[in-house]
Amino acid sequence: MNISQAAKLSGLSVKTVRYYADIKIVEPARDIQSGYRSYSNDDVAKLNFIGKARRFNFSIEECRELLSLYQDKNRSSKEVKKLTLAKIASIDEKLKEFHSLRDELSHLVNCCNGDDRPSCPILDELSK
């Protein structure tokens, strides 16, 4: 099938699918006549896989790794679990950061009158 069909089936944009071909993560066959990319069902399955992994916040390089594990019938689930645990840990870090950011900001907002006068504890804090 052509690229737009593959894009539709995988829920990705044509641009993204073409990008994935460029970076050699999903490399479709080529129609010799037209030079058009020609996607198999298997290619679409890979696109789907990557799309999902991306939504789980895995980077492209991690997707590459997961994909090769996925295609390796002898892989151990241990390896996949390890990658996933590392991902969870990095998400936890971000969660912590954002939580404390949020707390500090909302504290500042609560101290700020939000009126037409210039006095503003938010700016005061930023300039300390």
Q: Which string of DSSP letters, residue by residue, matches 39-54?
A: --HHHHHHHHHHHHHH
Percentages helix, strand, coil for the chain, rounded to the nearest 5? 65, 5, 30
Residue 78 touches which member of a copy of itself, DNA, none, C-beta under 5-8 Å by kind: a copy of itself
| Binding window for DNA (CB under 7 A); candidates: 8-16, 84-92, 105-113, 114-122 | 8-16
Strand, helix or coil at 13?
coil
| Binding window for DNA (CB under 7 A); candidates: 14-22, 78-86, 95-103, 113-121 | 14-22
Q: From residue 112, how far is each of 16, 23, 34, 107, 124 by CA, in Å? A: 44, 49, 64, 9, 10
Can you give the binding site for a copy of itself, defined by CB under 8 A?
A: 45, 48-49, 52-53, 56-57, 66, 69-70, 73-78, 80-82, 84-85, 87-88, 91-92, 94-95, 98-99, 101-102, 104-106, 108-109, 112-120, 122-123, 125-128
